[in-house]
Amino acid sequence: MSLTVVGSIAFDSVRTPFGERERMLGGSAVHFALAASFFTEVRVVGPVGDDFGDDEIAVLSERGVITDDIEHVEGGQTFFWQGHYEHDMNIAHTDDTQLNVFADFEPKLSAESREAEMLFLGNIQPDLQRDVRAKSAASYAGLDSMNLWIETTKNSLVAAIGEIDCLLLNDAELRMLTGEPNLARAARSAMELGPSVIVAKRGEYGAALFTEEGFFAIPGLPLEDVRDPTGAGDSFAGGFLGYLDEARSAGRTDDVTLRIAMAYGSVMASFNVEDFGTERVRRLTEGEIADRVLDFKRLTHFDEPSN
């Protein structure tokens, strides 16, 4: 089992009602890779600039993430995102996006990255996502995107979605992409573009799974300490696809497996939001993950009265 991710590798400056951080390590590929590293072997593909140093690489390699395909662009600056959250932390307000080294990025995949069984196309320009999909031999591919690309490059995004198996989007973005206000209809209409699995992420309210066979939903954990939701979507995707890669290599691909993957996605997202940037996931243990899976099981279980 192995998983390749392409996506932003970033410095993020973030303000939430609970504090502020300047230029912390972030990006869709980074949050995804750290979460997925608890389940499978992960390789990151993407460019960084001169401002990206050994300390940043160490955050990934300490979790066993393979960084050989992170390309250092001489004289360049790493992708930069600045945003803030008001009291409704489900909505990220973007204050600045500097593509920097991503502006001229031409993805190069090593033989190992090409041959990984699973591919995740994290949130970046959809033509780059298509380029990587074309170069990869993965038997299963997931994709995430955002409102920016739906608004500015919708045709490329629709083409990219036609080439993958699993689409993970925020519920509002799924509605925006398909023009369907009803979530179930929006998911059906997204499936007609190609993917057989649609995951609608709903921030603190959890996530919904649509497949050809049916529907499943998982709530968010009612956490009392949420400090920074940046990267929650990518951590969800990392837990979801990381678990799926592990399960697929054991021959499990059915809806029961997808439901368990939903639980792992939710668990990883719930840890991510407890602290700024990558801080919480960096100190996370497998024992904590196992305990929180049980919390989710308890939260979603009920019995009929016995009499």
Name the site residues for ligand AMP (rule: CB under 6 A).
8, 10, 12, 26-28, 31, 81, 97, 123-124, 148, 230-234
Crossing angle (nearest 10°) for helices 255-272 and 232-249: 140
- As given in the structure block, the two tokens for residue 291 are 């305990």
Rg, Å, the chain Cα set:
18
- Cross-strand partners of 5: 44, 120
Report which of 271, 274, 267, 269 is spatially closest to residue 299, judged by C-alpha positions: 267
Residue pair 227/18 in contact (Cβ under 8 Å)? The answer is yes
Q: How far apart are CA 277 and CA 272, in angstroms?
A: 8
- What distance in Å separates the CA atoms of residue 228 and residue 129, rounded to the nearest whole number? 27
Answer for the pair 186, 174: CB distance below 8 angstroms, yes or no: yes
Q: Which residue has the tokens 């995430």?
A: 144
Token pair of 64 as six digits = 């066993």
In DSSP terms, 218 is beta-bridged to: 207
Q: Which stretch of DSSP H or E encloses residue 208?
A: strand 207-211
Q: Whose structure tokens read 């179930």?
A: 184
Least separation in angstroms between CB 272 and ligand AMP: 8
CB of 254 to ligand AMP, least distance (A): 27
Residue carrying the six token digits 């509605």: 175
Residue 194's Cα: distance from chain center in Å?
19
- C-alpha–C-alpha distance, residues 165 and 20, integer Å: 37
Q: Which of 233, 236, 205, 225 has its CA nearest to residue 275? A: 225
Closer residue to ligand AMP in complex, CB, 26/248: 26
